[in-house]
Amino acid sequence: MNKVVARFVDGRLLKGVTGDFFPAKPFFHIDVVDSPPGAEAITVRTAELKAVFFVKDFQGNPMYVERQEFDPSRPPVGRAIRVVFEDGEVLVGTTTGYQPGRPGFFVEPADPGSNNERCYVITAAAREIKFL
């Protein structure tokens, strides 16, 4: 099971765990954190999302300011990329799977201190995607 935060293009978000997220599938299920025992998983349609963040923990550190650059002492693995979402959020990291025309791709954040382990970006929710 993976801890995820699903961020929708309309601003909503769901926090929970999933065991059936696959990039090629049009939907997956999230068992929402803090839902009552026996509650059914929520079906999430990938087309409604901005991104799926695979996180270390659900709280994170709201005071932490994530760096948007790479540590020069740790060369990045993969291609450095900058994603600007339609809502203005910026994500800088590395990818091995971005190709124009694909519905999405994974990014590992540039900042090793990020609460995000990786992120699946929905290409349609990005205003700009640029290799660095």
CATH classification of the domain holding 49: 2.30.30
- With respect to residue 117, please indicate whether it lies within any of the assigned structural domains: yes
62 Cβ contact list (under 8 Å, min separation 6): none
**SS3 assignment, position 44:** strand
Tell me, yes or no, whether 64 lies in a domain.
Answer: no
Rg (CA), the chain: 15
- Domain assignment present for 90: yes
pLDDT band at 66 (very low <50, low <70, confident <90, very high): confident
Q: Fill in the amino acid letter for 107.
A: V
Distance CA 45, CA 78 (A): 28
Do the domain assignments include residue 69? no
What are 7-16's pLDDT values in tens digits?
A: 999 999 999 9
Phi, psi of 115, rounded to the nearest 5 degrees: -75, -15
3 state SS of 87: coil
Domain of residue 53, residue span: 2-57+77-131
How many domains, in total, are found in the chain? 1
- Among 29, 82, 17, which Cα is nearest to 53's? 17
Q: Which two tokens stand for residue 111?
A: 């900042």
What digits encode the pLDDT tens for the residues 17-44? 999 999 999 999 999 999 998 899 999 9
Has residue 123 got a pLDDT over 90? yes
